[in-house]
Amino acid sequence: MIRCLWLARTLPFPWTAGDRIYTAKLAGALAGAGVDVTFAGFAAEAPAQPMPGITWHTVPGGPRARLPALASPMPLVAARHDTPAYRAELAKLARQGPWQAVVVDQYGMGWVLRHRHLFEGSRPAFVFVTHDHEESVTGMQWRDAGASPGKRLYLAQNWLKTRWFERWIARQSDLVTTITQADADLFAANAPGVTMLPLVPGYDGVRVPERRITPETPRAVVLFGSYRWSAKQANLRIFLDKADPVLARAGVAIQVVGDMPDDLRRTLEGRYKAARFTGFVEDPAPHLAGARMAVLAEPIGGGFKMKLLEYVFNRVPVAALSVCASGLADSVRAEMLLEPELDGLLQRVLQRIDDMPALNAQQQQAFTAAEHAFDWRERGRCLRDAILVRHDQVQAKAGGSVTAPSIHARIKETVSGEGA
């Protein structure tokens, strides 16, 4: 049996944000491909849910406070999670090997690679699972002209730390997974010789079999998201500052659905006319069905936008900034209204919002184009196979005798269950 130790900041619950969903689904897909996964992290905001093939391991304590973490040469998120309790737990877990793979989930866990000597007995492949090219994201954040001078100074120093740290993690890893090919190209430029594996998210959620958008459908656009992260909050403000007066004049409502701090919600509710704010919802279906279109306009941040799949498979026509559709197949992108700038995007929304035949054709064609393109099981098999290849290369480099035929033999054993 192939054994993988997956190290994350927290256990990925509840599934209220894209990074948690991606982590949980990818770990689940790897387990579904026959890999025994031990997943470690600080306690989550909600209890861990059973997933076949995954053992949840809660690390004692929690992240350190923000102020002491600022003194670290590492980015804030990494410094907060590099705690004595987590390091002690890491040593215990290392002794529970042998491990064929150790996953470093997101750059906030990159400090783990400073302790890879703990795994010398196993000589596992170290896998860096990325969610974004954080150097690019933090660079966009500090260049945001809407931030105060003090905040921009903080963001600038965090970008410099992130730039160095993320590049170091990639170079120290045996395998880097990315969420888009564009991210893979960025990582490859600064980590030559390291294997890059793009793993675009899968989708195993609700697929609405049929939908008709009619004049009775509310004249509204919907935005789903989790607005706890500063970059997401900045994106929302940028969009609403531009879109609210335009859509309010046209009589189009903006439905903002998703978790956000109470103080932010109160501030936004007092500022905008067309926007209506709904917190976290267990069932997104009524909110998606209650809009004619979905809009995705997030200029700050890269990576794959998982909410796009939620929109497409719930048959909501999508209008988005071109950069937000990164990672989608051309056949799916062709069925979205994509514009490079927000002004042009808003004009496309107003041109389409009352065209029922066009809206229904768009949602049907996007669903058809995406129907067979997002299989989590295939992502799990790809990751498993890449881990086996890199593990055997690490073993051979260290003086072992592993050869290519053994890779294929263990893949076969994993699939058939004979190696369990």
Residue 409 has pLDDT above 70, yes or no: no
Query: What is the pLDDT at residue 174?
Result: 97
Residue 302 has pLDDT above 70, yes or no: no
Structure tokens at 195: 């294997």
Query: What is the pLDDT at residue 402?
Result: 45
Query: What's the pLDDT band for 230 if we cut at 50, 70, 90?
Result: confident
H-run or E-run covering 135: helix 134-142
CB distance 181 to 327 below 8 Å: yes
Dihedral sign, CA of 3, 5, 11, 15?
Answer: negative
Residue 197 has pLDDT above 50, yes or no: yes
Query: What is the pLDDT at residue 97?
Result: 87
Residue 361 has pLDDT above 50, yes or no: yes
Q: Which of 229, 201, 197, 311 is nearest to 16 (CA)?
A: 229
Instruction: Tell me which of 21-25, 68-72, 92-96 is least confident.
Output: 68-72
Residue 205 has pLDDT above 70, yes or no: yes
Residue 19 has pLDDT above 70, yes or no: yes
Query: What is the pLDDT at residue 400?
Result: 54
% of the chain surpassing 70 pLDDT: 94
In the chain, where does the domain assigned CATH 3.40.50.2000 lie? Answer: 2-202+376-416, 220-370
| Between residues 301 and 396, the one the model is more confident about | 396
Which residue's structure tokens are 């799990």?
380
Q: Which CATH architecture has domain 220-370?
A: 3-Layer(aba) Sandwich (3.40)
Q: Which of 104, 101, 100 is nearest to 81 (CA)?
A: 104
Instruction: Tell me which of 2-6, 295-299, 363-367 is least confident.
Output: 295-299
As a whole number, mean pLDDT of residues 384-402 equals 85
Q: Which of 29, 35, 24, 8 is nearest to 387 (CA)?
A: 35
As a whole number, mean pLDDT of residues 23-37 equals 97
Query: What is the pLDDT at residue 145?
Result: 65
| Between residues 146 and 81, the one the model is more confident about | 81
Residue 410 has pLDDT above 70, yes or no: no
Candidate CATH numbers 1.20.1440.230, 1.10.10.10, 3.40.50.2000, 2.10.10.90; the one for domain 2-202+376-416: 3.40.50.2000
Query: What is the pLDDT at residue 305?
Result: 84
What residue type is 406 in one-letter code? S
Query: What is the pLDDT at residue 155?
Result: 87
CB distance 396 to 390 below 8 Å: no
Query: What is the pLDDT at residue 403?
Result: 40
Residue 401 has pLDDT above 50, yes or no: no
Query: What's the pLDDT band for 414 if we cut at 50, 70, 90?
Result: very low
What would the pLDDT profile of 148-192 be if each residue is shown by its tens digit? 888 888 889 999 999 999 999 999 999 999 998 999 999 999 999
Q: Which of 181, 107, 169 is nearest to 138 (CA)?
A: 107
Q: Is the preceding peptide bond at 14 cis, omega within 30 degrees of 0?
A: yes
As a whole number, mean pLDDT of residues 102-121 equals 96
What would the pLDDT profile of 76-86 be if each residue is shown by its tens digit? 999 999 999 99
Query: What is the pLDDT at residue 397?
Result: 86
Q: In the predicted model, what is the mean pLDDT of the chain? A: 91
Query: What is the pLDDT at residue 405?
Result: 40
Q: Phi and psi at residue 276, in whole multiples of 5°?
A: -125, 135
Residue 420 has pLDDT above 50, yes or no: no
Q: Which residues pair with 39 in a beta bridge?
A: 6, 56
- For residue 59, count other CB atoms closer than 10 A to its CB: 24
As a whole number, mean pLDDT of residues 371-381 equals 94
What would the pLDDT profile of 231-276 be if each residue is shown by its tens digit? 888 899 999 999 999 999 999 999 999 889 999 999 999 899 999 9
Residue 105 has pLDDT above 90, yes or no: yes
Query: What is the pLDDT at residue 184?
Result: 95
As a whole number, mean pLDDT of residues 28-43 equals 97
